[in-house]
Homo-oligomer: A and B are copies of this chain.
């Protein structure tokens, strides 16, 4: 793997932001043409294969729902003026609204209108996936200006047997063991939640594709909740081979990082993330697993208990733009997207290079000087490299991985890994053979 820093350039951030802007206008939902169109665009960034799962398919305790598509939807006031138009904003429609074509007085219509009184200029995001309904979302200011009288309501949608669509990018590595990256693709016109996660995952896929990989990777682009349920049901046999993983979401806002640990709490991904964040110099916090949040709920259900954490910047519900029309491309920045991609690459670099080594000269220190590994002249960086070598030698007793050594010594993993490589080249250290118990799929 080349140094991951190279990837985290300002221009990559800008490219990701351009992708966010490109995907923003598409009306995605948990099924339907929006997801297909989104995946078609992502295919330009990474080798994504698209899967279609028929409505009605049983997936654990759930059933793949009908497919929903919508052409147009509007409300006309008593004077015939269009007061709400789906074409103007995808959020105007209650997701999964059944078709409607009717006239009704405002009093009746009101029961189908959703607003945010405390944020009167924003359109809320509303869904009704598992209970048939119809409705419109609008700004509270719009609602308050509606005159009494009879309104015309049109929703030209279809809710019919079809498919649930998801994308998967598989990148085989030297080992069959896998790293799983998952991101949800079901939200319409919401930039941070979750075009940011989609963009970071797509760029990750593209970069990883161009690299030597120790692990095999799967990057999955799935609708929220029903997506991972479906994916897990269809890939259950592969789950024992998943060694590490991340759910990516809300990575474009200006806040610091929030890492939510896996249900295990001390998985390698949890420790690698904590280590990298501790040395990164940017604000962050690490929170414990809980069964609310994003798709880690499914991956970390007790029957799977996969070692996946969730990487976010500001968590859902903690920023006022959350699930409103204010979560638009202006809310996310190229710098935040680029920083998130860089963090992911650094963490994956730790996982890729982490290994257990054995000091071949375990009794007393080996004589580094005669091998040119002991500083003869001073200098801070030489002393630092030497310190890393001494730590690697001292703790390479078969019980400690390089990540363990980095954590214990307080030395960044990269310097520890570099020291280990140098010691291996000088015949002082030997990597323990890794036994790959997963099956090449």
Point out residues on A near B: beta carbons under 8 Å: 59-62, 130-131, 228-229, 232-233, 236, 263, 290-292, 297-298, 300-305, 359, 361-367, 369-370, 376, 387, 390-391, 393-397, 409
Cβ-closest chain B residue relative to A130: B369
Beyond A233-B364, A301-B394, 15 additional contacts (C-beta under 8 Å) are: A61-B361, A61-B365, A130-B370, A232-B363, A232-B364, A290-B391, A298-B364, A302-B359, A302-B394, A302-B397, A303-B359, A303-B363, A304-B363, A304-B364, A305-B397
Chain B residues positioned under 8 Å from A362 (CB to CB): 301-303
In the assembled complex, the CB of A84 is this many whole angstroms from the nearest CB of chain B, namely 23
With A292-B387, A369-B130, A370-B130 given, is the CB distance from A363 to B301 under 8 Å?
yes
**Is A363 touching B409 in the complex (CB atoms < 8 A)?**
no
Distance A28 CA – B232 CA, assembled complex (angstroms): 70
**Is A290 touching B409 in the complex (CB atoms < 8 A)?**
yes
Distance A89 CA – B62 CA, assembled complex (angstroms): 76
**Is B396 touching A302 in the complex (CB atoms < 8 A)?**
yes
Chain B residues positioned under 8 Å from A390 (CB to CB): 291-292, 297
Distance A236 CA – B361 CA, assembled complex (angstroms): 14
- Count identical subunits in the complex: 3
Cβ-closest chain B residue relative to A230: B364
Distance A132 CA – B320 CA, assembled complex (angstroms): 70
With A130-B370, A359-B302, A369-B130 given, is the CB distance from A364 to B394 under 8 Å?
no
Chain B residues positioned under 8 Å from A387 (CB to CB): 292
Q: A366's contact among B61, B364, B369, by CB below 8 Å, is which?
A: B61
Distance A291 CA – B393 CA, assembled complex (angstroms): 9
In the assembled complex, the CB of A37 is this many whole angstroms from the nearest CB of chain B, namely 27
Cβ-closest chain B residue relative to A361: B61
25 A/B residue pairs, CB under 8 Å, sorted by A: A59-B364, A60-B363, A130-B370, A131-B369, A131-B376, A229-B364, A229-B365, A232-B364, A233-B363, A233-B364, A290-B391, A290-B409, A291-B394, A297-B365, A301-B365, A301-B393, A302-B359, A302-B362, A302-B393, A302-B395, A302-B396, A303-B361, A303-B363, A304-B364, A305-B397
The 10 closest A-B pairs by CB, nearest first: A303-B362, A303-B363, A302-B397, A291-B394, A291-B390, A61-B366, A302-B362, A229-B364, A298-B364, A60-B364
**Is B395 touching A301 in the complex (CB atoms < 8 A)?**
no
In the assembled complex, the CB of A209 is this many whole angstroms from the nearest CB of chain B, namely 29
Distance A364 CA – B304 CA, assembled complex (angstroms): 8
Chain B residues positioned under 8 Å from A290 (CB to CB): 391, 409
In the assembled complex, the CB of A309 is this many whole angstroms from the nearest CB of chain B, namely 15
With A301-B394, A302-B359, A394-B300 given, is the CB distance from A367 to B291 under 8 Å?
no
Distance A298 CA – B130 CA, assembled complex (angstroms): 60
The residue among A233, A300, A394 with the most chain B CB atoms within 10 A of its own CB is A394
Q: A263's contact among B59, B300, B393, B394, by CB below 8 Å, is which?
A: B394
Distance A130 CA – B370 CA, assembled complex (angstroms): 8
Cβ-closest chain B residue relative to A59: B364
**Is B291 touching A364 in the complex (CB atoms < 8 A)?**
no
In the assembled complex, the CB of A374 is this many whole angstroms from the nearest CB of chain B, namely 8
The residue among A60, A61, A391 with the most chain B CB atoms within 10 A of its own CB is A61
Chain B residues positioned under 8 Å from A409 (CB to CB): 290
Q: A365's contact among B233, B298, B359, B365, by CB below 8 Å, is which?
A: B298
Chain B residues positioned under 8 Å from A302 (CB to CB): 359, 362, 393-397
Cβ-closest chain B residue relative to A370: B130
Chain B residues positioned under 8 Å from A304 (CB to CB): 363-364
Distance A364 CA – B362 CA, assembled complex (angstroms): 47
